[in-house]
Amino acid sequence: MSVTERVSSALAERMAGARGVLAAPARSARTTVVIGRLLATAFLVCFLTGLYSHLLQEPLPGMRFPTWPGVYAFTQGLHVSVGIAIFPLLLGKLWTVYPRLFLWPPARSARELLERASIALLVSSALLEPAIGLVNTYQWYPWPFPFRQTHYALAWVIVGSLAIHIGVKLPTIVRFWRRRSTATDRSVTDD
């Protein structure tokens, strides 16, 4: 047996052990889909209210918005409130899929490699976006980049990577959208 095969088998055993330790009844595909539904809705609300705010501040040529009193305050309040609510939803979703980090080998095909890369982009931008938004509510800018433009660009990255993620996971989402979890649904790693 070559060194590579020994290292790979040792890593496979350790990763399987880590997945076993992390096993929990709440870590099911159904739980992941339910939290993902809430999280996608929250991101959509934040995206639409943020887009409204952005277009009010930098309207496209010929674009006019009605200036009803309180509409901007309502949409910004909704944007910030839902943006803060994203934190526990995102952490809950990551908790349900955490054992998938310990799959070995990490990618079995080019498709799976692309899927994991798109998920890495989604997770990193989804963690960064509400974090810099929350820091913005304190009007503290410890970074060298312009907040508004970066926040706007990250929103489009999230929407695009979320669309890819939903497209890839659509069979799982459809399977667990409405039905209750069963004992066979325990493993999130089967997806």
Q: Over the stretch 56-106, which tens digit does the pLDDT of each residue have? A: 888 889 888 877 778 989 999 999 999 999 999 999 998 888 777 777 777
Domain range for 90: 27-178
Q: Tell me if 9 is assigned to some domain.
A: no
Report how far residue 150's alpha carbon sits from residue 23's, in angstroms, rounded to the nearest whole number.
38
Q: Tell me if 150 is assigned to some domain.
A: yes
pLDDT tens string 148-183: 999 999 999 999 998 888 888 888 788 877 666 554
Please list the helix, strand and coil fractions of the chain in percent, rounded to the nearest 5, in that order.
75, 0, 25
Q: Tell me if 42 is assigned to some domain.
A: yes
Q: Tell me if 45 is assigned to some domain.
A: yes
Q: Tell me if 130 is assigned to some domain.
A: yes
Q: Tell me if 96 is assigned to some domain.
A: yes
Confidence (pTM) = 0.76
The residue behind tokens 């020994």 is: 6
Number of domains in the chain: 1
